[in-house]
Structure 1
């Protein structure tokens, strides 16, 4: 089975994948795999940008979103007359003739990866560039990625990477064939300083505790007084700060629903 591997840490947001998808499919008829993609409105490969945190503690992450080519594809289950099929190599294809008028094929996709072509009265999406794959070539998005953030090939070839990866929204139960490495997680970050001397404090022990699970994270500030707790799950946290010669600091009930820069902490002796 063919799979995509997306390494989010390697993506620099160049949008080559999104642009090359347009170049491959706009005004090009690849029947019986796909009719032409419209000039606007469709993103069969879409690069989503998310800003995490608040200035000056900010991370920007880019996530490539093609069709997930699910083993349990909802679009396949609702399609009539065999309008959607999963090929032997795992690529999910919407038949451009049989699928006409079947808007429910678009409506049931939980990932929003299926688009409606008003002119053709047709649901359309990423085909994994099946027309190129059949020639022994890579999908255009993979071929155009300059950083190696996108990979495509046999599932067996990527066994080790898949073991480290995760899929998008596993709770949907669709069994996607797109695997993500270094998927975005939440963080809590901040800065600690001594206002009396107007200096950032290095080697301050900072302890972050998930108040629900009890999971404890510990680190020390760098020479700029900064600390970053990364790869967190959403929840309520407490923060403790300790350094010899200074009064301890504690803050409870930090609600982390998105990445957060907490207020700067002034330590007093």
Structure 2
């Protein structure tokens, strides 16, 4: 059977918050029983946008990570919620409104994707706008957040798990915090922008920027190579913590330690 997946490209998100606003517009004070009770007007972020800054000095960047419920195949809230938490055949995790009333399981989600509705006495979260997906009259055929994204950072896929597994490999998709809960139905492109680090710098010749210079970064287990851009700048991204050595045109530039943060290695005359 085909299942439903969301792909989020971190590199394309610029924090416009259209997805967040669309979610609020669809659910705040709108009752979609038996799928959802109305979301409170304030306090809930079923689509939460996380922010991460990397780098130092003028070599910095900021990445944004939209985070809905990840629709895990074996969600921890199932153990906490028991009879009112279920997984549909298409992979969407749902809460039974009546059985779940008065039962706060917000602490059971390792991603912090469940919110407590005090007025309704319900645990609530994103369900991919299941009420719309099940409605043949909803012509876009995707959740509201995906429909409103202006940059294509959010895409929605409906296909067999085997086909999606091939897509994961072909497109280099990765799960957010895989060590916590495996097999989500929300996957990320360019996740390294949020979870990994970079080493950046600039090469100079005669005090002027040196473009087209081959720069090599060597670590304990890997070697990467790139060419400096028109400003003499270089950036090695997607790095794990460790010790690295930078060289350019056979000359050692410096040794760099990456420890939980990106590094501006500086400017180098070669």
Pairwise TM-score range, normalised by the shorter structure = 0.7 to 0.9
CA-CA distance at 1:253 after TM superposition:
4.6
- CA distance in 2 between counterparts of 1:254 and 1:265 reads 17
> 1:260: which partner in 2?
263
| Other-structure match for 1:102 | 103
Q: What are the superposed Cα offsets for residues 163-218 of structure 1, whole Å, 9 maximum, x if unpaired? A: 33111122123421111122224211111225xx432233443221113x2x1112
Please list every run of 5 or more consecutive structure 1 residues that lacks an aligned counterpart in the other structure: none
Q: Distance in 2 between matches of 1:179 and 1:30?
A: 26
Match of 1:162 in 2: 168
Give the corresponding residue for 2:146: 142
Q: What does residue 124 of structure 1 align with? A: 124
Total equivalences in the alignment? 257
1:85-137 deviation digits (Å, cap 9, x = unpaired): 1112211112222222322x211111110111222222111011111011043
Contact kept, 8 Å, 1:25 with 1:37, in 2: the verdict is: yes
Confirm or deny: 8 A CA contact 1:204 1:241 kept in the other structure: yes
Deviates more, 1:255-264 or 1:36-45: 255-264
Q: What is the distance in 2 between the residues matched to 1:155 and 1:178?
A: 13
1:190·1:264 contact (CA, 8 Å) conserved in 2?
yes
Structure with bigger gyration radius: 1
TM-score normalized with structure 2 length: 0.86
Matches within 5 A, 1:1-269: 1-80=3-82, 82-103=83-104, 105-136=105-136, 137-156=141-160, 158=164, 160-163=166-169, 164=171, 165-183=173-191, 184=193, 185-194=196-205, 197-211=206-220, 213=221, 215-242=222-249, 248-267=251-270
Task: Please state how far the C-alpha of 1:50 moved relative to its aligned partner.
Answer: 2.0
C-alpha distance in 1 between matches for 2:96 and 2:158: 24
Deviation for aligned residue 1:159? 5.4
